[in-house]
Every structure is written in C-alpha cells, then in structure tokens.
Amino acid sequence: MARRNTTPLSPWQELEEQAYHAYREWPLFLKLRLRQLRQHLPASAFASRRTVTAPQPASSPDTVAEDIALLKEYGLFVPERIADG
C-alpha cells in the first residue's frame, strides 16, 4: 500500500511501519507454513490433532480457494486487474 504523503520517513518510522506489517501478516505466514509442513511431513507428525487430512497437491483448486479466503480474512486480498487492451 502506498503512503499518502511523500515526505521521507525517519529510520524509526520506517521500522515502526515494517513492524506493523509484520505483525499483521504473521498469522497468515503461520497458516501457510503449516500447510506446507502438512504436505511434506507424514500424517503421523500431526497425529495429536483430532482430524488428520491427507496432504493435497499445491496446485489443487481447493488450496487456491483456501488461499484466497485466507487473504480475504486478513484483508490482504487484492484481485488482479486485467489491462484493457
């Protein structure tokens, strides 16, 4: 997201802005990382959970829909715009 003003930020303001975005995106990162681990680790690694699902390939339409839903949940979904031309 672009800043509204064009004045340069001080180093502390830049750090604060980066920290805010990292804080906002952390739950999203954790969920995506857990999904990656489920694809690569055996199901026994997640046996303590009540429901164990079989890993799905990354290109599955279900995972794409889940990714979009996750982005929308955190307000980070920006639909791609197709150029008119």
Q: Write out the residue range of the structural domain in which residue 59 sits.
A: 22-45+54-77
Q: How far apart are CA 76 and CA 24, in angstroms?
A: 9
Q: Work out how many domains the chain is built from and give that number.
A: 1
Residue 10's pLDDT is 92
Q: For residue 45, what are the contacts with CB-CB under 8 A and spacing of at least 6?
A: 37
Residue 15's pLDDT is 94
| 12 within a domain of the structure (yes/no) | no
Q: Give the global pTM.
A: 0.45
pLDDT tens digits for range 13-62: 999 999 999 998 888 888 888 888 888 888 787 776 555 455 555 555 57
| 62 within a domain of the structure (yes/no) | yes
| 10 within a domain of the structure (yes/no) | no
| 71 within a domain of the structure (yes/no) | yes
Q: What is the 3-state secondary structure (H, E, C) of the chain?
A: CCCCCCCCCCHHHHHHHHHHHHHHHHHHHHHHHHHHHHHHCCHHHHCCCCCCCCCCCCCCHHHHHHHHHHHHHCCCCCCCCCCCC
Residue type, 67: D
| 58 within a domain of the structure (yes/no) | yes
| 34 within a domain of the structure (yes/no) | yes
| 40 within a domain of the structure (yes/no) | yes
| 68 within a domain of the structure (yes/no) | yes
Q: How far apart are CA 57 and CA 49, in angstroms?
A: 21
